[in-house]
Every structure is written in structure tokens, then in C-alpha cells.
Structure 1
Amino acid sequence: MTEVSESTEQLSGRKEQPHEHLVEERDGAVAVLRIDREHALGALSRGMVEALVAYLDGLAHDDSVRVLVVTGTGRGFIAGADIREYDGVSQAAFDDYQRLGRAAFGRLASLPQPTIAAVNGYAFGGGFEVALACDLILASTAARFALPEVKLGLLPGGGGTQRLARAIGVRATKELVMTGRSMRPDEAERRGLVARVVEPDELMPAARELARTLAARAPRAVREAKRLIDDGVEASLETGWTLEQGVLSSLYATADAREGIRAFIEKRDPAFTGD
């Protein structure tokens, strides 16, 4: 088992990590959550998923964090669930674990802060679903994406079939899910799933740069943009447009909007506070 290093604790400003295989680092308003289970390619155990739910519950109410980056260690981002935990368990236990996974992926997707998946390696099964639950995906050239559950006689249970279909379309999703094949990052980028593909040693610098850019924007405007897009895409154009204008009106009344407008006129960088 990997111990948390002293340098990581100093970066995070915390004495305890969410879990021995979930390591958080803080860089100003950016939180980086790294899956640190290299020997298992980041496969998620039940204990890790329980800790992830608790961590995300806390993060949702932490206004000091404006952006979350999720990444892995070594060759694995998250290579799915720990399949050994499926072997021989009762139907009730299996179903309970799936409900727990749904809670974790749901909390990640619904975080008020924008989220970035920095996919360094294998993102299979639940790992792909973690990436799909994030707002933006950056990938290294070593990344691989797959929902291979059909090879086990199963199907995705963490929203994979639904979020992937909404991201790249129904027919492309059917081909990937029903064959279980893996997708290279260049294909994921062509399909609009991945925002950017970089060399492995450029992945975290690129993710941190993007996170800092998001963190420098008006926090309420960024959070409302995330919520508006997520809610509006499931609505009619007219309904979404009405929601958009309502959000815009509420933002105009904020101190950050006044600061942003004033900074533009004065040709300086704005100092947003979230008010």
C-alpha cells in the first residue's frame, strides 16, 4: 500500500487523505485528486468508492475549491471496478455496490465546481464512467478508453451507456459498448469526447493550466454555466433559452459582474471574489 508522502501533505494542506489510494493535492483554488493504486491500474475497490462519495460530498460545500482535476498513476487512470470483488457475492450485495457506484458518479457529475479528467492511461469500465462524469477530458497519448463489460457478460452500470451516447451519439456508443473494444485518444478527440491530446509528460501541466484558467474566471458564472448547459441540453431550445436569460439576469446583479465590466473598461485583469 502506498503511503502519503510528506510533500503531498504539504501541498494539500491536510494531515489526512480521503483514502490510502485517493491522494489530494491543493494548488490554490485547484484540487487535484489522484487515484494512487498503481499495482491494480487504479481499479476501484468498494472502500475507494465509499471514500470518493464522502470526499465529493465535502468538496461540493468547499468554496475554497474552484476546480477539481481527477487523474491516475502510472499506466492506469482507473481500470474499472476491482472485479475480484464481484466473484461469488450475492445478488443483493452486487446490486448494493452498483447503487454505491451510481452515488459516486452522480456526485461527481453534479459537483458545482467544473471538473477535468486528466486521463493518463487505461480508463476502462468505471474509469471511463468517471471521465464521462467530468466536464472536460484531457488525455495523454497513452490513454485508452473502453466500456468492456460485455466481455464479462455484463454492461456498464455507472452511467456509461447514457453519458457516452449523449456525448458521441447513439450508433457510435452501440458499437463501442456491444463490442467492448478500446478507443485510442485520437479517435476520442475526433468524436469530440476529448478536448485535447498531449504527450504523457505534458498531461498534468496542461490540466493544471486549464484548471488555473477556469479558477481565474468568475466562480459563480462558471458554476452557472456548467449547470445551465447540463440542464438545458435535456430541455427544448425555448426552455433552455429562457433558463439562460434568467441566469444572465441574476449574474448581472453580482459584484463579480460589476468588477468584470469595470476591469474590461479599465483594461486590467479582474479580481473576482465569487460575490
Structure 2
Amino acid sequence: MNDITFDYTYLQVEQTGGVLTLTLRRKAKLNAMNAAMMAELTDIFRRIHERPDVRSVVLTGAGKAFMAGADIEEYRSFDLGAFFAFQNKGRDMYRAIEECAKPVVAAVNGYALGGGFELALACDLIVASERAKFGLPEVKLGLVPGGGGVQKALRILGPYAAKDMLMTGRFLTAQEGRELRFVNAVVPPEQLAEAAATLASSLAEQAPLAVQGLKKLVNEGRDASLETAQAYDRAYLANLFYSADAQEGITAFAEKRPPLFIGK
């Protein structure tokens, strides 16, 4: 991965086996999101989309924050056109993560606020430190979330819990996130990296085409009717049945041996 490891200012990129770890590194600003960071994240997720050597991704932050939202100092002087351009770059970034073929684990080490919470929600699974805090506090600035946070909070939390968080701007603890079912696991801070890596490694061991399909089916099926979503599931299953990985998985099961998936 040396061709992308050293290209970025705000991302540290490391690969162990099939797991790629991305660390946001803007500690002095609590990893606040500026346009350059958004461009880097968009770029790397688009570039790894087709890379067979990457099977899963861990996204985390350096220091005491995952990402503490957008860099207000950068956009406070924007005119309306520049502000909308900044928001569009953010949506491109979230879309690149959601559409990436690789499963993405957010390892939330601290504050995940505003755009940082939306970044975590763009990932597929969230492992959180006991110190993590989640929130969409844009109301305190006289704004509303613009990166999908409102509608995702509504769908994940339900209307009453979503309005409570959005309208008060209050932060949720990692344990509250677990109880509200958007956090998959809560661990002590010193165990976060290992827990996220273990989860990402387990994802990397699965059949890549099946994992990619499941990500797509869940992301796209949640807003479709049940009948439409189930028809999509069946069509995807039929296509996978003829893949080399499916035939290997079936054969390995019959032969009582571990499968060797190649992503084809």
C-alpha cells in the first residue's frame, strides 16, 4: 500500500494483512473536518474500492477525538455558494464510504460530533471506547446537520429519541449508543484498537463478494418496501451462486475444511 500510504496530510494509512487502518490525524483541532481531509477520505475510499488486497477497513482518530465535527473556522467566512460546495464535498465523502465494497469499522476513541457522528454512521459497524461521546449539536450553532445525520438518526433511533438528541444538542455516551443499537460494542479505551482490529479481521476472512453484497443489500434495502427488498436479495443470491467463492464455500463445507475465498 505504499502508493497511498504517504500521499495524505490528514490520514495515516497502515495495512496488516487484509485490514487497512485509517487514522485521522489533526489532533490540535480534535480531528475537525476541513475540505482537505474530506477530499483525502473520499479519495482513499474510492481507490480501495477495487483493491483485492484490502478486505476490510478500520477508521479511527488520533488523540482524544474521533472527529469533533466540521472545522467552523474554515467555513465561518464562506458565502452561501462556498458553504454549499463544502457540504457537497462532505456528502461525496460519506457516499464514498457507504458505496465502498469493503466493510468499514469505526473505532470511536472519543468525541464523534456533528460531521464526526455522521462519519461514524457512514461506516458499517461501530466499536466505541467507554470515553466516546456522540452527538449532533448543530442546533447550538443555529444550524441543522447536513451530512445525513437527521434522517439517519430518525431511522436508527426513532422519532422521539432522534428529536431529543437533535433538538437539545446533547451528547450520548458510548453505553447509550449501545442501548440505542447504533454502537456494536463498548470497550475500555486501552482495548479499542485491538477490538476494532479483531472485528475487522473477522470481516476480512469472509467471502468478499458476499460481504459486499450484504453491505449493499442492507444500505439500499432499508428504504425500500419489504417486497422490493426481498426480490433484490433473491436476485443477488442467484448471481452469487455462480461465483467461484460460493462454489468454494459450498465445497469446503461439504469437505469439512476452511474455505479459501479469493473474491471472485
> TM bucket by the smaller chain?
over 0.9
| Structure 1 residues 236-270: Cα deviation after superposition (integer angstroms, max 9, x where no partner) | 11111111111111111111111111211222111
**Contact persistence 2:5–2:12 (CA under 8 A):** no
**C-alpha contact 2:4 2:13 (8 A) present in aligned 1:** no
1:205-251 deviations in Å (ceiling 9; x for gaps): 11111111111111001100111111211111111111111111111
Contact persistence 2:10–2:40 (CA under 8 A): no
CA distance in 1, matches of 2:218, 2:76: 40
Q: Are 1:56 and 2:45 counterparts?
A: yes
Q: Secondary structure at the match of 1:88?
A: coil
Structural mapping, 1:1-275, within 5 Å:
12-14=1-3, 16-275=5-264
Inter-partner Cα distance in structure 1 for 2:88 and 2:225: 30
Q: TM-score normalized by structure 2? A: 0.96
Superposition RMSD in Å: 1.3
Deviation of 1:21 after TM superposition, in Å, equals 1.6
**Residues of 1 paired with 2:4 and 2:123: CA distance?**
27
Q: How many residues are aligned here? A: 264
Quick one: distance in 2 between partners of 1:273 and 1:16?
A: 24
Structure 2 unaligned spans of 5+: none
Cα distance in 2 between the residues matched to 1:197 and 1:211: 15
The whole-number CA distance in structure 2 between the counterparts of 1:65 and 1:257 is 19
Is contact 1:45-1:81 (8 Å) kept?
yes
SS of equivalent residue, structure 2 residue 95: helix
Distance in 2 separating the partners of 1:247 and 1:53:
27
Task: Give me the whole-angstrom Cα distance separating, in 2, the residues matched to 1:77 and 1:18.
Answer: 21
Fraction of identical pairs, as percent: 44
1:166-209 CA deviation, whole Å, 9 max, x = no partner?
Answer: 11212211111111000000000001010000001111111111
Counterpart Cα distance in 1 of 2:136 and 2:241: 43
| Secondary structure in structure 1 of the residue aligned to 2:77 | coil
Change (3 A) 1:234 1:148: same
TM-score (normalizing by structure 1): 0.92
Equivalent pair of 1:18/1:55 in contact (CA under 8 Å) = no
Contact 1:13 / 1:26 at 8 angstroms: preserved in 2? no
